[in-house]
Amino acid sequence: MEANVELATREEIQENSKWDLSGLYTADAAWQREFKELEEEAKGYAKYQGTLGTSTATLKACLEFDLNVSRKLEKLYVYAHLRNDEDKTNAEHQGNFEKIVRSATRISQARSFIQSELMSIPESRIQQFLQDKELEFYRYHLERILRFRKHTLSEKEEALLASSGEMARAAREGFDMLDNADLKLGVVKDENGQEVTITHGNFQSLLQNYDRRVRQEAFAAHYSAYEAHQYTYASLLASSIKKDMFYARAKGYPSVREQALFEENIPVAVYDNLIAAVHKKLPALYKYFDIRKRLLELDALHVYDTSVPLVKDMRWHLSYDEAALKITEALQPLGTDYTGTVKKGLLEERWVDRYESKGKRSGAYSSGCYDSNPFILMNYREDNINSLYTLAHEAGHSMHTYYSRTNQPYLYADYTIFVAEVASTFNEALMTRYLLGQDIDHNMKIYLLCREIDNFRGTLYRQTMFAEFEHLIYQAAENDEPLTVESFKSIYSGLLKLYFGEGVVLDDCLPLECFRIPHFYFSFYVYKYATGISAAYALADRVSHGGKQELDDYLNFLKSGGSKYPIELLKGAGVDMTSPEPVDTALGKFSELVDQLESLTA
């Protein structure tokens, strides 16, 4: 671990290490001009109100107007949120982001009549509209909207709900500011006695430190920060849950979970089957923990011992540029067009904001809009192999976006979240195949094998645990049970005991982990990581062992955007997520990897 170094400011980061947003706006002044233009243009919604059932021509004109406004809003929003995430303490960028969020709320309110008016058109008439060639391009779009007929309120009620959008973001934004700007995670002395300030960016590296004292003290300091604010975190999470329940009940859904799954036409059984399948394969996870305890020669295995590499003195160091080239080589099975675009994006066209800096948002993501390149936020660290995998993961998202927007019109370019993690996890699978296929020694094989196991553990097992936690806390809230610090911690503690088993010591502070997961503010999202890795590994095997047809099927999936429901898109690529087979296959792969590790380390 490096000595404690003050984080660089945004201005101190080299220009070629920042994303290039000039394709969106060359200056903030240009953004301000387009913002004012959009505010004025959005007033045009009023002329369509009350007219949608009069003719197909009127309906088509309204849909075209709505798409045009949405496209401009998306561009403005993406620029503002990217600039805001560069430095959460920058008041100007924060102000612009708040402006566009408020504008989005007003536009949502102004356009809220569209859905309710569509629903009020008599069934026979709307069916005539759908058969009209003038609306042929919009047919699937309209059919998706009409699915929500029984969950659509009156025009006035829809407008009222839409106007509450800005207020509804309060819990999420409160968490975001507390977790990224205000929270101080403490200081720990590294193995050389030098002080290191703990950040979201280096916490995982500290847990991979071979000095157990460093891991233990970093773990304790990190969770002490959350303990000091646990009542605030619990209040924010409870508020987010209550907000979701309000909208679900207002729309007539039986539960928040059913609302979330209905939006992508995902059967509830997919969620329940995932949890049930993972429960059956928990013994393989327990076996891995036993192997880890043996190899680390520990009397007791704590959670802060579960990330350190099992091969001692196997240091990792890879510059960002080297990582980008390695990713390009690993993705060769996807063809030269794919890898050529990845290389340009990561190294030449500055899709990526590479390094951690003061005030910058933690974590990583891929973003962008129809009229821009994809953009990747990273907090890249040269000493952590997870940074290589994270970059490969986000490049998968970005390439999915790139192919969708290149091959689909704006209306159908956005793919749903259910398939969003497939391309990213697919890239990680190819990354491991590539590294294990190199001429490496015995210890490096163990190192990479553990990395693959830990990827499964973090994505399939851990995200399923998160998904089960979400289901339980929403279920408790919907049954009018109290949402308190203790109730959250109690539910989470029970799941920790189930998923870690008796072979791992669970420190008293560990249930506080439930308060630091940002995805819980995007209800019923995390299960898609687990279904995503299952689909991704099935497709990676299919492409790696197949020929041109299998590759074309996968690339066509990437190019399809949101032109079909996600279950159908995956079926076209060669995997059926309504069956238990993909999840069972992924869990079987995990068991095989654990057996291989046991054999290599016997």
Question: Which residues have a catalytic role annotated?
Answer: 394
Burial of 271 (0-12, 13-18, 19+ CB in 10 A): buried
Task: Give dist(CA 408, CA 435) in Å, integer.
Answer: 34
- Of the candidates 194, 223, 56, the residue with the CA atom closest to the CA atom of residue 130: 56
Beta-ladder partners of 189: 195
Query: Which residue type occupies 128?
Result: Q
- Of the candidates 353, 298, 339, the residue with the CA atom closest to the CA atom of residue 87: 353
Which value, in Å, is the radius of gyration of the alpha carbons in the chain? 24
Task: Report angle CA 419, 421, 427 to the nearest 5 degrees.
Answer: 120
DSSP state of 344: I
What is the secondary structure of 193-243 as a DSSP string? S-EEE--TTTHHHHHT-S-HHHHHHHHHHHHHHHHHTHHHHHHHHHHHHHH
Task: Give dist(CA 244, CA 238) in Å, integer.
Answer: 10
Task: Give dist(CA 355, CA 360) in Å, integer.
Answer: 9
Task: Give dist(CA 354, CA 342) in Å, integer.
Answer: 15
Q: How many CB atoms lie within 10 A of CB 595?
A: 13
Task: Give dist(CA 194, CA 203) in Å, integer.
Answer: 16
Task: Give dist(CA 314, CA 450) in Å, integer.
Answer: 12
φ, ψ (nearest 5 deg) of residue 391:
-65, -45
Distances (CA, A) of 496 to 347, 452, 462: 41, 22, 10
Structure tokens at 406: 């290149």
- Of the candidates 594, 521, 412, the residue with the CA atom closest to the CA atom of residue 176: 521
Residues near 200 by beta carbon (within 8 Å), at least 6 away in sequence:
179, 180, 185, 362, 363, 379
76 membership: H or E segment, kind and range: helix 56-86
At residue 188, the 3 state secondary structure works out as: strand
CB–CB of 304/207 below 8 Å? yes
Distances (CA, A) of 236 to 60, 170, 175, 527: 42, 9, 7, 21
Question: What percent helix, strand, coil does the chain show, rounded to 5?
Answer: 70, 5, 30
